[in-house]
Amino acid sequence: MRKQYLSAPLPFVGQKRMFAKEFIKVLERYPEDTLFVDLFGGSGLLSHITKCRKPDATVVYNDYDNYRRRLENIPQTNALLAKIRPLAASTPRQKALPKETKDAILHLIEQEEQKYGYVDYITLSSSLLFSMKYVTDLSGLRKETFYNTVRKCDYSPCLDYLDDLEVVSCDYRELFDKYKDVPNVVFLIDPPYLSTEVGTYTMNWGLSDYLDVLQTLVGTNYIYFTSNKSSIIELCAWMDKNNTIGNPFAGSEKVEFNTHMNYNSSYTDIMLFKKADDQSIKMAS
């Protein structure tokens, strides 16, 4: 019998493992012949669970972030971790690795990339960096402090994890347009969360992008994920009550100033201003 995963087999920011059991309950509400389209496929966990629970359903998985490549390279990743373990072994668990150990590990990783042309930096991040911190390339890894969080055992091969899914890789809007008028379709919508780290996704993502996703909810069957950090539900409720004001910033001018907190953290101060009724209206944040 096919194994059903309740968490993604490799680390992925924003995977829905905490929702897995509740998601299964929601799936039971839909007919067996439902078409499920996973617009932001991510780790494929939602698509995988859906196909396991609804084997007769068609499930379209949008692997925009190429999670498949990471799965295919599990043996290579295991081999690299096996070389890293003895280097980190002299440092207690969860403690920072000394510079010479970090340099030796970076040398191993650099050799690996030169030899194979690929390294799964996200998976390596979970074994070398502070909890929930991820990078996507060697230069990003060089900037970080290394910790002995190296996984003690190999990752299991996941040869059947994406079995029987229709796998595509495209912009979610293209996929939505393709299926929006198809009968009996349910969209799984799990976009990158607003106000959270999206550096590991292969896309640029801002407020307007996040709000654009809301258009996929209009008149459709969907299972949608968000968080209270985004305040999107509160925002939509406010817009519903104040839907006649338009854009209060229309016609204003903008001045920006970039502020650096440290070597890898910065934010942008914004001032918006315009003249209305001979009075200057200014806003700073």
- CA 20 to CA 15: how far, in whole Å? 10
Residues 232 and 170 in one domain: yes
99 and 74 in a common domain: yes
Q: What is the CA radius of gyration of the chain?
A: 23
Shared domain check, 173 and 55: yes
| Selection from 195, 183, 203, 182 nearest residue 41 by Cα | 203
Does residue 151 lie in a domain region? Answer: no
- Asked if residue 155 belongs to a domain, the reply is no
- Same domain, residue pair 85 and 206: no
Please tell me whether residues 172 and 280 are part of one structural domain. no
SS3 label, residue 175? helix
Residues 113 and 234 reside in one and the same domain: no
Q: How many domains does the chain have?
A: 3
Q: Which domain holds residue 212?
A: 17-63+162-241
56 and 102, same structural domain? no
Q: Is residue 120 part of a domain?
A: yes
Residues 28 and 59 in one domain: yes
Distance in angstroms (rounded) separating the CA atoms of residues 14 and 190? 9
Residue 132 lies in a domain: yes
pTM for the predicted model, two decimal places: 0.84
Say yes or no: 208 and 266 in one domain.
no
Residue 4 belongs to a domain: no
Per-residue pLDDT of the chain (285 residues; tens, 9 = 90+): 678 999 999 999 877 888 889 999 999 999 999 999 999 999 999 999 999 999 999 999 999 999 999 999 999 999 999 999 999 999 999 999 999 999 999 999 999 999 999 999 999 999 999 888 899 999 999 999 999 999 999 999 988 999 999 999 999 999 999 999 999 999 999 998 765 444 455 556 778 888 899 999 999 999 998 877 677 888 888 888 988 888 877 887 777 767 665 556 676 777 566 665 544 444 444
Q: Are residues 168 and 280 in the same domain?
A: no
Q: Are residues 34 and 174 both part of a single domain?
A: yes
